[in-house]
Structure 1
Amino acid sequence: MDIAALVAWGVTASGGFYLLGTWIQRGGIRQQQSGTSRMPAPVVFGHFALAAVGLVVWIIYVVADKSALAWTAFGLLVPVALLGFVMLARWIPVYRDRAAAGAAPAAAAAHGAEAAVPAERHFPLPVVLAHGLFAVVTLVLVLLTAVGVGGS
């Protein structure tokens, strides 16, 4: 089960890297001053940093098989999940605005509205959904491994 969690974590991280890259490329960091982005940089980078540290701890756990490392990785995943839910809650209105604005994108671009578009509006829905789904799977597999279900 520890390897399954590692694979799920890797898939989750891949989606997360894509979303982070999209956010940075589309000006998410620059939009912090203007307030255009609804994603606060400390939340985005905190989510990323804690997830990355947790993944490293999990890899060490897979190699060393020490129960304390499994619980440490799970402890790191809890705030990662909370920050992820914060970002999801802040992203949903941006996604809904994109869907509502889809009828008149040419008119908005002609008036320079693209500069006021939050960077996270460019997140593809399938990537967001897959990232969230694999994150939940990862959290559950890590917890089950930490409590000793399935052996290691």
Structure 2
Amino acid sequence: MDITALITWVVTALGGFYLLGAWLRRGGIRRQQHGTSRLPAPVLFGHFVLAAAGLVVWILYVVTDASALAWTAFGLLLPVALLGFVMLARWIPVHRAHATVGAAAAAAGPGAEGTVPAERHFPVPVVVAHGLLAVATLVLVLLTALGIGGS
């Protein structure tokens, strides 16, 4: 189960990298400074850093089979999940307003795109897959740390 958790964690991270890249490419930091991004950079980057640190700890656990590392990785995943839910809650209104904002930006002409949050461009399938895989990873890591399913 530890390898399954590792695989889901890596695939989840790939989705997260894609979303982070999309946010940065669309000017997420710049738009946040102008008040148009709904994802606070400290939350986004905190989510990223804690998830990456947890993944490193999980890899060390897979190599060493040290129970303390499994629990440390799980402990790191808890704030990652909390920050992920915060970002999801802040992204949902942006997604719902997508059609309205998109039509208004098109009517406003060139340059209006700068008033649209960068996260509006997140593909829904990637957001959904990232979230579902993150939940699966959290459950698999917990079950492994509890010693359920072998390691």
* TM-score normalised by structure 1 residue count: 0.95
After TM superposition, list the pairs within 5 Å mapping 1:72-151 onto structure 2.
72-103=72-103, 106-108=106-108, 110=109, 112-151=111-150
In structure 2, C-alpha distance between the alignment counterparts of 1:56 and 1:116, rounded to whole Å: 37
CA shift in 2, pair 1:104/1:38, >3 Å: closer
- What per-residue deviation string (whole Å, max 9, x for no partner) do you get for residues 100-147 of structure 1? 345555313x16321101000010000000000000000000000000
Moved over 4 A (4+): 102-105
CA shift in 2, pair 1:106/1:32, >3 Å: closer
- 1:53 corresponds in structure 2 to 53
- 1:71 corresponds in structure 2 to 71
In structure 1, C-alpha distance between the alignment counterparts of 2:37 and 2:101, rounded to whole Å: 17
Aligned length: 151
In structure 2, C-alpha distance between the alignment counterparts of 1:127 and 1:95, rounded to whole Å: 13
Q: Flag structure 1 segments of 5+ consecutive residues without an equivalent.
A: none
Q: Identity of aligned pairs, percent?
A: 77
* TM-score normalised by structure 2 residue count: 0.96
CA RMSD for the aligned pairs?
1.2
Q: Which amino acid aligns with 2:68?
A: A
In structure 2, C-alpha distance between the alignment counterparts of 1:2 and 1:138, rounded to whole Å: 10
In structure 2, C-alpha distance between the alignment counterparts of 1:103 and 1:36, rounded to whole Å: 17
SS at match of 1:29: helix
Q: Which amino acid aligns with 2:139?
A: V
Contact 2:101 2:116 in 1 (8 A): no
In structure 2, C-alpha distance between the alignment counterparts of 1:84 and 1:139, rounded to whole Å: 12
In structure 2, C-alpha distance between the alignment counterparts of 1:10 and 1:55, rounded to whole Å: 8
- What per-residue deviation string (whole Å, max 9, x for no partner) do you get for residues 37-60 of structure 1? 000000000000000000000000
| Higher mean displacement: 10-19 or 96-105 | 96-105
